[in-house]
């Protein structure tokens, strides 16, 4: 069995838990996922099975869509609702929907983010959350991320007793984006401590929530011996990349990992290309690191197709 399976990760479990349970359901060890979801977040978790695990890194590169809620009035250690309160401040009663909409629009484009302490980013060989659990705050490397759209999707709700303000949002973003940090940064611009109070991943790696299956739904398909109907070919993860259909002679060279002339296959602006044979992805090639006029294999996916 090989291919891609979009899973709907429910709240209360880690992404690792999800993969662990899926291995038992499918009775397959070689399974990986694309893009970790926090335990409190539900949504689309694309899973790669068998040979498809080779393309996980290319799945991560695609756009993601999230919906959720931002609450102004207090911030937390984790930048979401699971953390302890760090700062609390009554929301300015003058903040209105226009102020929020204008603030959200300021984040569209390429922005710089600093990962939260409670995250899986590695610094000096250790995950940031390992430092955070010991009460340590260390310097974190900033990263560039892309926000394609960021919109308020509900009316503003004020909680008079708690002196907070909440609103729902939808964001379309590129790889590496921390939506928790986005929620925190929105508050900073509005001069109010804030946090992400709710989050759902609606789409990832080309998969939408309508295509995703819960683990219990996967179990039903396995019991009915229909699970293959739900698995997508690994080629779906590579559809956004430049491609080339090989003839039999070219396929023999590519499956053996031969170095090829770049000019014959790659445009000037492209760094990688997927080679297909008989509509099956055979290999991913990239520009040679020392001889830029050539391309070499980044990954060989299939080398046993009939010629």
pLDDT digits (tens, 9 = 90+) for 157-194: 999 999 999 999 999 999 889 899 999 999 999 999 99
> For residues 115 and 286, which has the higher predicted lDDT (pLDDT)?
286
User: Which three-class secondary structure string do you get for 106-145?
Assistant: CCCEEEEECCCCCCCCEECCEEHHHHHHCCCCCCCCCEEE
- pLDDT band, residue 223 (cuts 50/70/90): very high
Q: Is 244 helix (H, G, I), strand (E, B) or coil?
A: strand
Contact 60, 35 (CB under 8 A): yes
Rounded-to-integer distance, Cα 141 and Cα 266, Å: 33
Contact 59, 175 (CB under 8 A): no
Sign of CA dihedral 107, 111, 115, 120: positive
Rounded-to-integer distance, Cα 249 and Cα 241, Å: 23
pLDDT digits (tens, 9 = 90+) for 144-157: 999 999 999 999 99
Contact 153, 67 (CB under 8 A): yes
First-to-last alpha carbon distance for the chain, in angstroms, is 23
Q: Examine the residue annotation and report whether 42 is marked as an active-site residue of this protein.
A: no
Q: Domains in the chain, start-ordered, CATH in brackets?
A: 3-62+205-236 (3.30.2350.10), 64-201 (3.30.2350.10), 242-300 (2.30.130.10)
Catalytic residue among 38, 42, 80, 185: 38
Report residue 259 as tokens.
């170095």
């Amino acid at each position: 069995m090989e291919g891609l399976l979009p899973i709907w990760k429910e709240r209360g479990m880690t992404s690792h838990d999800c993969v662990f349970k899926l291995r038992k359901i499918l009775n397959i060890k070689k399974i990986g996922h694309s893009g970790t979801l926090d335990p409190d977040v539900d949504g689309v978790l694309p899973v790669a099975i068998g040979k498809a695990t080779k393309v996980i890194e290319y799945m991560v590169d695609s756009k993601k869509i999230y919906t959720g809620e931002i609450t102004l009035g207090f911030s937390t250690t984790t930048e979401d609702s699971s953390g302890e309160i760090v700062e609390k401040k009554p929301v300015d009663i003058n903040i209105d929907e226009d102020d929020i909409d204008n603030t959200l629009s300021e984040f569209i484009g390429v922005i710089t983010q600093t990962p939260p302490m409670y995250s899986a980013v590695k610094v000096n060989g250790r995950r940031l959350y390992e430092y955070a659990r010991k009460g340590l705050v260390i310097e974190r490397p900033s990263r560039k991320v892309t926000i394609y759209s960021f919109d308020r999707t509900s009316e503003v709700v004020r909680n008079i007793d708690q002196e907070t303000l909440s609103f729902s949002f939808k964001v379309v973003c590129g790889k590496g984006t921390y939506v928790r940090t986005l929620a925190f940064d929105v508050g900073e611009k509005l001069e109010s401590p804030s946090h992400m109070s709710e989050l759902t991943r609606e789409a990832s790696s080309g998969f939408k929530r309508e295509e995703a299956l819960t683990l219990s739904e996967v179990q039903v398909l396995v019991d009915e011996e229909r699970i293959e109907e739900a698995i997508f070919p690994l080629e779906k993860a590579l559809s956004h990349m430049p491609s080339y259909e090989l003839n039999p002679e070219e396929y023999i060279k590519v499956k053996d990992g031969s170095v090829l002339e770049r000019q014959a296959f790659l445009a000037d602006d492209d760094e990688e290309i997927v080679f297909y044979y008989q509509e099956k992805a055979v290999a991913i090639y990239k520009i040679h690191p020392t001889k830029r006029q050539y391309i070499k294999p980044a990954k060989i996916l299939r080398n046993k197709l009939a010629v």
